[in-house]
Structure 1
Amino acid sequence: MAKYSEKRWLANDGMPMHAVRWQPDVEPIMTVCLIHGLGEHSGRYKDMVEYYTSCGVEIVSFDLRGHGKSGGQRGHSADFQQMIRDIKCFIDEVSNIDVAKPWFIYGHSLGATLTIQYALSHPIGFKGVVLSSPLFKPAFEPAKWKLLLGRLVQTGWPTLSLSNEINEVALCRDKEILKSRAEDSLIHHRISARLGIQMLSEGEQLLRKASEVDFPVLLMHGDADAITSHTASTIFSERVGQQCRLKIWQGFYHELHHEPEKEKVFEYGLNWMKRELQRL
């Protein structure tokens, strides 16, 4: 049984934040810093946490600003780079990661976009990065009126809140997970004009910057993902080159960690991290 703890902390701009930590009952072989996706929170990774901690892996995470138990308007950040600063503050000062031991960063969806941006700007310390269903491009065409509105108001009215356009049924094929999500009071379905436009811009920028990646990356995506584009992930992987291992899961939806075959995903990710440690 993993030891669970919570911590309240303040980001560098004073925003109250919520952090969590799961420690295995043995000396951990590594630590994984988990960055969650849009509209959710760190508590939605129970199955992944149970699998990893049973294998001797420590998991640390926090709720992004505007999400979960952290402060801020739901689905809003005044600056995408502030969210990167939140990750740095968490890793450096809050997470209790033992930097003398190996650690990895694992990001899902929006969290994967944040993770790779953080890794590019702070490429020291971690042993590798795992990207789950990253948002380089949406798998659907966003409503043109929303894009136009977002661009028009992101400066004058950046906090304007809109639907995040996430189709709940497209998240995973496990109906019990979808039911529990619908009953989760910490889940929200909003995104601000500023964050929405910046999120799309950051994804496009990452596709252009992919060749700058010089650290190990595991990129996993389902080819039935109707939320983020697995085709864009393939392009990103090709541009990174040998440093990136691409795994396309046939028939899988967006939340790989909630699919009926999720243990295969957990095992694949853990084995990749173990192989990276052996290469050092």
Structure 2
Amino acid sequence: MNQDVGPHDNGSHDNGSFTGVRGLRLRHRTWLPRGMPLGVVVIAHGFAEHGGRYAYLAERLTAEGYAVRALDHRGHGLSDGKRTRVVRFSDYVEDLGLFIESGRERFPGLPSFLLGHSMGGLVALAYAVSQPASIDALVVSAPAACAGDVSRYRVTAGKVLSRVAPDAPVLRLPLQKISRDPVVVAAYNRDPLVFRGPIRARLGAEMLATMEAVDAALPRLRLPLLVMQGTRDGLVDPLCGPHVYELSGSPDKTLKMYDGLWHEIFNEPERDSVIRDLVAWLNARLTREPEAPPSRISR
């Protein structure tokens, strides 16, 4: 596994790569604060996008003293692999585990926070329930962790297609609804690293199976958990965030619902306020306390 350069005296950004499961080459980005980091935030991005789209969030977090690392999932961004195609959803999860492990080696002793958005939220949840000792806290933004209003017929049809025609298109997302900020939407539309095709049958079926597995495991989750969700999300059912919050067995869990915000809460006009909430939550958990604070919901 390639190791990128160590901490810098001045804030900086560097890129690297590593070998994921099944021998696929995966790319990643690292943003470093001035001096030694307070902790490390690992970002798992959503379907069709890439880690580079989190540059603004990363820059805000590095200004607060955090190192930020974001990988491009297999078949996404600069990473190798057929665009958005996956044999098993667990490939994403295992890749993420290798990436987190490399961060632990690079930043030994520092708190490690995992942040997953949308499909990346499902990847992060699947990792957290299977490897809770590898991270110190979990944040999910608009997690694609429930089927929402998908009909039973569509679910069954998707499972059948996954076996006989895994690359068959099953769902095209309304990507114009990622943000109310037209500048964000325009940048997304002209980004050559963004995939604009549909979700394929295999990925859809694998996501549904992973949702079921995560649901079964969430009551056993004890990691500090922050769930962040816009109430006007047009890509992920806004009830998915509360669903994760309610199922989680964490004694330290927080649900932040943002009235009127769309899917990408870190790219909405209110992004700075949302990021302040994130930073405050991270800062409060830089050192684990013997007794966790009570669960809470806020808007």
- Structure 1 length as normaliser, TM-score? 0.92
Are residues 78 and 254 of structure 1, via their aligned partners in 2, closer, same or farther at CA, if it must alter by over 3 Å?
same
- Counterpart secondary structure, 1:92: helix
- Counterpart secondary structure, 1:229: coil
Are residues 71 and 95 of structure 1, via their aligned partners in 2, closer, same or farther at CA, if it must alter by over 3 Å?
farther
Aligned partner (choices 190, 207, 222) of residue 183 of structure 1:
190
Aligned partner (choices 269, 272, 284) of residue 275 of structure 1:
284
How much does 1:279 deviate? Answer: 4.2
Residue 241 of structure 2 corresponds to residue 252 of structure 1: no
How much does 1:228 deviate? Answer: 1.2
State whether residues 218 and 246 of structure 1, in contact with CA within 8 Å, keep that contact through their aligned partners in structure 2: yes
Aligned partner (choices 174, 186, 206) of residue 181 of structure 2:
174
State how far apart, in whole Å, the 2-side matches of 1:192 and 1:141 are. 15
State whether residues 66 and 75 of structure 1, in contact with CA within 8 Å, keep that contact through their aligned partners in structure 2: yes
State how far apart, in whole Å, the 1-side matches of 2:92 and 2:15 are. 20
How much does 1:171 deviate? Answer: 0.9
Q: How many residues align?
A: 278
How much does 1:11 deviate? Answer: 1.2
Q: Corresponding residue for 2:159? A: 151
- Structure 2 length as normaliser, TM-score? 0.86
Aligned partner (choices 187, 212, 215) of residue 220 of structure 2:
212
Aligned partner (choices 15, 36, 40) of residue 45 of structure 2:
36
How much does 1:191 deviate? Answer: 2.5
Q: Structure 1 unaligned runs (5+)?
A: none
Q: State how 1:214-229 maps to structure 2 within 5 Å.
A: 214-229=222-237
Q: Corresponding residue for 2:29? A: 20
Q: Corresponding residue for 1:197? A: 205
How much does 1:46 deviate? Answer: 1.8
Q: Corresponding residue for 2:292? A: none
State whether residues 21 and 95 of structure 1, in contact with CA within 8 Å, keep that contact through their aligned partners in structure 2: no
Deviates most, 89-98 or 224-233: 89-98
Are residues 180 and 138 of structure 1, via their aligned partners in 2, closer, same or farther at CA, if it must alter by over 3 Å?
farther
Residue 169 of structure 2 corresponds to residue 162 of structure 1: yes
How much does 1:97 deviate? Answer: 4.0
How much does 1:8 deviate? Answer: 2.2
Are residues 138 and 49 of structure 1, via their aligned partners in 2, closer, same or farther at CA, if it must alter by over 3 Å?
same
State whether residues 158 and 170 of structure 2, in contact with CA within 8 Å, keep that contact through their aligned partners in structure 1: no
Residue 281 of structure 2 corresponds to residue 238 of structure 1: no
Paired residue type of 2:227: L
Deviates most, 2-11 or 147-156: 147-156
Are residues 245 and 263 of structure 1, via their aligned partners in 2, closer, same or farther at CA, if it must alter by over 3 Å?
same
State how far apart, in whole Å, the 1-side matches of 2:17 and 2:104 are. 11
How much does 1:64 deviate? Answer: 0.2
State how far apart, in whole Å, the 2-side matches of 1:125 and 1:198 are. 24
Paired residue type of 2:113: F
- Counterpart secondary structure, 1:252: coil
How much does 1:209 deviate? Answer: 2.7
How much does 1:252 deviate? Answer: 0.6
Q: Corresponding residue for 1:93? A: 102
CA deviations over 1:21-67 (Å, ceiling 9, x no partner): 11112221111011000000000012101111111110011100010
- Counterpart secondary structure, 2:286: helix
Q: Corresponding residue for 1:265? A: 274
Q: Corresponding residue for 1:110? A: 119
State whether residues 213 and 240 of structure 1, in contact with CA within 8 Å, keep that contact through their aligned partners in structure 2: yes
How much does 1:164 deviate? Answer: 4.3
Q: Structure 2 unaligned runs (5+)?
A: 1-9, 290-299
How much does 1:202 deviate? Answer: 1.7
Are residues 243 and 94 of structure 1, via their aligned partners in 2, closer, same or farther at CA, if it must alter by over 3 Å?
closer
Which structure has more RCO (C-alpha within 8 Å, separation ≥ 6)? 1
State how far apart, in whole Å, the 1-side matches of 2:49 and 2:74 are. 11
- Counterpart secondary structure, 1:276: coil
Q: State how 1:25-64 maps to structure 2 within 5 Å.
A: 25-64=34-73
State whether residues 170 and 204 of structure 2, in contact with CA within 8 Å, keep that contact through their aligned partners in structure 1: no
Deviates most, 255-264 or 129-138: 129-138
Are residues 18 and 161 of structure 1, via their aligned partners in 2, closer, same or farther at CA, if it must alter by over 3 Å?
farther
